[in-house]
C-alpha cells in the first residue's frame, strides 16, 4: 500500500509516520534524506541548493524503485504539496492520502520556533492551496482524491 502523507511544514508528518510505519516499510522523507546526505552537524531544515538537487534526484529514484514493490511492502511518502502530475500518479497507484494538519495556529507557532527563513510563507501557501475537504486536526488514514 502507498501512503502519501501531506500537510504543511511543522504539522507532524514525520511523527505520524513514526507512529504508523513498521520497521520493514519504506519511508521516503526528503528532510531525513537531506540530513542523511549532509555533513556532520547540518541543520535539519537548512540545506544548500546543491545538496537539495542531489536529494531530489535520490528521492525520485527511490520513489520509482519503491513503486515496484507496493505488492510486498508498504511505502510512506511525505509530499507537502504534490503537483497535479504527482497527484495523478499517486491516484493511479491507488495511494491513500493522509493529511496531517493540527491547525494553522499550531503550525505557525512550530515554524516560528524552528526559525527557518521562508517557512511561514510555505505554510501560508499550503493553507491557501490545501484541498477543500481538509479540516483542522490530524486526519489519520483519510483517503481523498485531489
The whole-number pLDDT of residue 78 equals 97
Domains in the chain (CATH in brackets) are: 2-139 (3.40.50.300)
Cα 9 to Cα 22, 23, 47, 61, 76, distances in angstroms: 23, 24, 15, 23, 17
Average pLDDT over residues 4-20: 94
The predicted model scores a pTM of 0.84
131 confidence band (pLDDT: 50, 70, 90): low
The whole-number pLDDT of residue 129 equals 86
pLDDT digits (tens, 9 = 90+) for 58-73: 999 999 999 999 999 9
More confident residue, 2 or 144: 2
CA 15 to chain centre: 11
Average pLDDT over residues 77-94: 94
More confident residue, 122 or 22: 22
pLDDT higher than 90, residue 38:
no
Amino acid at each position: 500500500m502507498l501512503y502519501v502523507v501531506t500537510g504543511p511544514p511543522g504539522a507532524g508528518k514525520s511523527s505520524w509516520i513514526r507512529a504508523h510505519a513498521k520497521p520493514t516499510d519504506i519511508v521516503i522523507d526528503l528532510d531525513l534524506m537531506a540530513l542523511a546526505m549532509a555533513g556532520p552537524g547540518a541543520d535539519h531544515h537548512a540545506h544548500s541548493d546543491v545538496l537539495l538537487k542531489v536529494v531530489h534526484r535520490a528521492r525520485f529514484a527511490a520513489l520509482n524503485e519503491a513503486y515496484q514493490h507496493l505488492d510486498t511492502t508498504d511505502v510512506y511518502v511525505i509530499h507537502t504539496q504534490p503537483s497535479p502530475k504527482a497527484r495523478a500518479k499517486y491516484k493511479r497507484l491507488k495511494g491513500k492520502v493522509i493529511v496531517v494538519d493540527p491547525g494553522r495556529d499550531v503550525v505557525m507557532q512550530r515554524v516560528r520556533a524552528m526559525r527557518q527563513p521562508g517557512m511561514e510563507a510555505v505554510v501560508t501557501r499550503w493553507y491557501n492551496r490545501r484541498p477543500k475537504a481538509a479540516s483542522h486536526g490530524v486526519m489519520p488514514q483519510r483517503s481523498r482524491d485531489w
